[in-house]
Amino acid sequence: MRRVTLNIRKLVLTSVILSLLVPMSVTAAVPYEGYVWNNLGQDVRSVNGYIYEDSIDGLDMSSGGFKNPESIFIAADDTVYLVDTGNNRIVHMDEHHQLINVFGTEGTGKLSGPKGVYVKEDGTVYVADTKNNRIVMFDSKGQFLQEFGTPTSALLGKDFSYSPSKLIVDKRDYMFVVSDGNTKGLMQIDPNGQFKGFYGANHIGFSWARLFTKLIASKEQKAQISTVNPLEFSSVDQDEEGFIYSTTLGAEFNQIKKLSPVGVDTLNAGVERKYGERFANGPFSVHSFVSISVSDSGIISALDLQTSKVFQYDILGNLLFIFGGVGEQNGLFVTPSGIAQTSDGMLYVVDKGRGRIDRFRTTPFADLVHQASNYYVDGQYEESAIIWHEVLKFSANYDLAYQAIGKSLYKEERYGEAMEYFQLARNKFDYSASFREYRKEYIREHFTWIFRGLILLVILVRVSIPRIARRIKGQIIEEGNPH
């Protein structure tokens, strides 16, 4: 017995010494697994598109650390504007994360709990100064320029409470403002600070339960039922062409919208599309997209607070990547609140809970997918198909690749092959479309044979059917008169 313990002790000792001697390679594993939702509604494995690179916490800068930062904006020159909500300031950093400026801390431009920022191409900064109920304009040096207070309008009503949280500014210098708790849509405010109407409001869907209650409830009962409001917007972003992208809180579908200049959703025209996670545990989890960022090529990245995951979609709303999650490891988030991206495709996610910005870089797989998707959107189908084939070598579960290859084969009028790929993508509609073309082509090519076959068939039917009929009749008569 003693010998055995001794041996074990020896073994442990040697292994400890060995482990000290052998240099350990320090590679942190990615704390999340890559997956996508396929066309059957299953979560299938895929390759990770984004991997944690590093964090910016501000502690090494003269600005000091960040406190509960709410959102982030990356300007066209890749400089970073962080809304440091807890410290009531805007921190401006260059592309190498060196401090340029800190502003909004004094004078008339002193901020109180700001939640959003937007920077125009000329460097003018618009800040949603939430607790002061105003929007403040700074110049590119951080000097106070102008403020826009609570707008007044008959449309807004008397009890309107204004708390701007996110905003964008379009080419006409009109501001589109998300006001917390406002369910009527984005607020359009002109360059003079005048309210110009609501924009792109969400609609209340039809509900049988509501119709039923309306039918049977008495006046008093109806007064007690809380009024149903449309869902509120939670964030906005704008692409190169001036389309406005919004996220909606608490919606089950069409949480992400791409609004045209007249406020019509062009991303989900006429369909109900589910974005974000597909929750299996019923109505207990609510989608809560809190931030959205659109790249120059139209790729949409949206941040969901409920799952603390980032969902990336292509320009048509097809899911590309999912990453992140709740946790303390690097790459996971405590309370993520904002997302933005640089021109080279790096994603910056603000983690309010940890007071820092986490940077994520693309993997080679993501670069391939983005490239293929760009070609595809540009109409260069052949080039895109070549890259999509590469994508499939990484991840055979990528339905989008099959679909895109199918589409490109279809455009090349190779319908038979297109059908195969549409079947792999489980897209019956496109399969049917290419099948129709295939059938047309087949009939045209084999017309003489089909025609001959038809003639033969007609002759056969003309000759054989009367014969069979006669025989059956004969038999039945035979049975009718047993011998």
Partner 1 sequence: MSTLRMMQQIAFHPYDFFENIQEAGRIKWSQGIVLILLVFVARMVAILLTSFIFQTREPFEISAFHEFIWIIVPWISFCISNWAVSTILNGEGKFKELLIGSAFTLVPYIFMIIPIALLSQLLSFNEKGIYSFLTITTFLWIGWLLLLGLKILHDFEIGKLIWITLITIVGILIIWFVVILMYALMNQFYNFFADIVKELRMRA
Binding site for partner 1 (CB under 8 A): 40, 423, 428-429, 431-433, 435-436, 439, 472, 475-476, 479
Taking the complex as a whole, the smallest distance from the CB of residue 435 to partner 1 amounts, in Å, to: 5
Encode burial over 179-198: b for 16+ CB neighbours within 10 A, e otherwise.
bbebbbbbbbbeeebebbeb
Calpha distance 325→356 (Å, rounded): 16
For residues 219 and 444, which CB has a smaller minimum distance to partner 1 in the complex?
A: 444
Q: Is the CB of residue 250 less than 8 Å from the CB of residue 259? A: no
Taking the complex as a whole, the smallest distance from the CB of residue 423 to partner 1 amounts, in Å, to: 5
Taking the complex as a whole, the smallest distance from the CB of residue 422 to partner 1 amounts, in Å, to: 9
Calpha distance 289→294 (Å, rounded): 14
For residues 112 and 475, which CB has a smaller minimum distance to partner 1 in the complex?
A: 475
For residues 141 and 436, which CB has a smaller minimum distance to partner 1 in the complex?
A: 436
Taking the complex as a whole, the smallest distance from the CB of residue 431 to partner 1 amounts, in Å, to: 6
Taking the complex as a whole, the smallest distance from the CB of residue 436 to partner 1 amounts, in Å, to: 4
For residues 162 and 438, which CB has a smaller minimum distance to partner 1 in the complex?
A: 438
For residues 389 and 439, which CB has a smaller minimum distance to partner 1 in the complex?
A: 439
The CA-atom distances, in angstroms, between 373 and each of 36, 297, 362, 370, 382 are 16, 9, 15, 5, 12
For residues 326 and 433, which CB has a smaller minimum distance to partner 1 in the complex?
A: 433
Q: Is the CB of residue 415 less than 8 Å from the CB of residue 423? A: no
For residues 371 and 423, which CB has a smaller minimum distance to partner 1 in the complex?
A: 423
Sequence-ordered list of residues with C-beta below 8 angstroms from that of 430, at least 6 positions apart, any chain = 403, 406, 407, 410, 418, 422
Taking the complex as a whole, the smallest distance from the CB of residue 421 to partner 1 amounts, in Å, to: 12
Tokens for 355, please give them.
């007071």
Taking the complex as a whole, the smallest distance from the CB of residue 45 to partner 1 amounts, in Å, to: 17
For residues 396 and 472, which CB has a smaller minimum distance to partner 1 in the complex?
A: 472
Calpha distance 72→90 (Å, rounded): 9
Taking the complex as a whole, the smallest distance from the CB of residue 433 to partner 1 amounts, in Å, to: 8
User: Residue 123 corresponds to which amino acid?
Assistant: G
The CA-atom distances, in angstroms, between 250 and each of 96, 99, 309, 326 are 37, 37, 16, 19
Which phi and psi (to 5°) does residue 238 adopt? Answer: -135, 140
Nearest to 332 by CA among 310, 365, 311, 312: 310
Sequence-ordered list of residues with C-beta below 8 angstroms from that of 345, at least 6 positions apart, any chain = 295, 361, 362, 366, 367, 370
